[in-house]
Chain A
């Protein structure tokens, strides 16, 4: 069969897109996590101007289509700043900044769901507010966040395909190259889809391992 022969011939080319796609996803998740955490802390504990800045950030990055953001930063913002970054880096950063807006709201909700008494008790023991956030509030908030955070992985994995539009050599870009070279469509797109589904499954398995590892009896949703 022609399709099988093509897949064998182009298989290595397609599969090497996995590391690019996963590179985008993991960088974006990491940026989203760190930036999202900082934004949530600014929203909950920050002084008024900091809170306002965080609110504007979230409103901006959640309010625009991901493709608009990508073009805006690829063709506009980074060149205007005189930064000559690769498409891969820009893709990872934009997905990460957008993810931060979403993740920040997960963290904010978790922080605010922790009872006031936890902070009060920490302060009464002589902890500073900063120490209490670090030692008491965040370890709890992050655990509470884990189930919702696991939604971020498939979100960003699927969103990563928009990086096709700026020429990052990820899975969809490679798929299109193969299609344009061979004029075979369905089997090639099916192979691409199959890889995304496998990556999704593998990622979710890893996340549920993390959830189990950090689970504490009687605490949070991952209890038991």
Chain B
């Protein structure tokens, strides 16, 4: 029996040295939801995402994927990570591989697919993000927006149940930001469960089912985007939204 929540985070704590980055974060995400995390920098949003797939080990608290506890699961974590895609601010494409090789490498090495099968799947995923024509380009031959679309395809190829986006457009200029956000909106519409750290209020408004405002390692306020943006309950939320809307 499974609950209706694909992802549950319970009371996560993380400190680096004497800096407390996460101070008891809890939330739940239903299948198909898109949750956008906003808040001042240094408030632990990225650390939170990294704690979900255990790239950073939380000091306390638990993460459940489809009711399976993935915190403290030891070497099993690589199994769970296959089910949680992640997209990074700096793309992190594998520099020695072409676009299509970037997408297929985990299919070959992790899913042990046959080369022909992996190549077909990789081509399909590149097509989905509009990058099929760039299959044989190396990362250094792609613009930032193109590189980020390839990195999204790379994650999608694993058929993840949840996708984490860690400031996916903050290294891009507005033009390139738009092409990446379009891909993400399509993905949200297709029913993918997404957790997105981003300050793109336009994206939050049109694609998010929930917006979470974080500050000082805590969730200050959360709710549907329209309410958070137009009628924030907490003064800090309104202040912050006002500030980034001005930019």
Contacts and interface: CB of A to CB of B under 8 A. Distances in A.
Interface of A: 115, 117-118, 120-128, 131, 135-136, 139-140, 143, 216-219
B75 interface: yes
Given A117-B90, A219-B140, A124 B95 contact: no
Given A117-B90, A120-B88, A125-B82, A135 B105 contact: yes
Interface string B176-216: 00000000000000000000000000000000000000000
A67 to B, nearest CB: 40
Contact of B55 (A120, A217, A219): A120
B138 A124 contact: no
B7 to A, nearest CB: 15
Chain B interface size, as a band, is 20 to 34
B96 interface: yes
11 contacts: A118-B94, A121-B93, A122-B106, A123-B81, A125-B106, A131-B109, A143-B96, A216-B96, A216-B138, A218-B141, A219-B95
The 4 closest A-B pairs by CB, nearest first: A218-B140, A126-B82, A117-B92, A121-B92
B144 interface: no
Contacts of B141: 217-218
A88 to B, nearest CB: 37
A118 B88 contact: no
A125 B155 contact: yes
Interface string B74-104: 0100110110111010101111100000000
Contacts of A139: 96
* Most chain B CB atoms below 10 A, which of A126, A128, A140: A126
Nearest to A114: B95
Interface of B: 53, 55, 75, 78-79, 81-82, 84-86, 88, 90, 92-96, 105-106, 109-110, 138-141, 151, 154-155, 158
Given A125-B110, A126-B106, A131-B110, 4 more contacts: A123-B55, A125-B105, A127-B78, A139-B96
B83 to A, nearest CB: 8
A127 B109 CA distance: 7
A110 to B, nearest CB: 12
Contacts of B84: 124
B138 A219 contact: yes
Contacts of A135: 105, 109
B58 to A, nearest CB: 16
Given A135-B109, A216-B138, A219-B138, A128 B88 contact: no
Given A126-B81, A135-B109, A117 B88 contact: yes
A139 B86 CA distance: 23
Contacts of B85: 124-125
B138 A128 contact: no
Contacts of B110: 125-127, 131
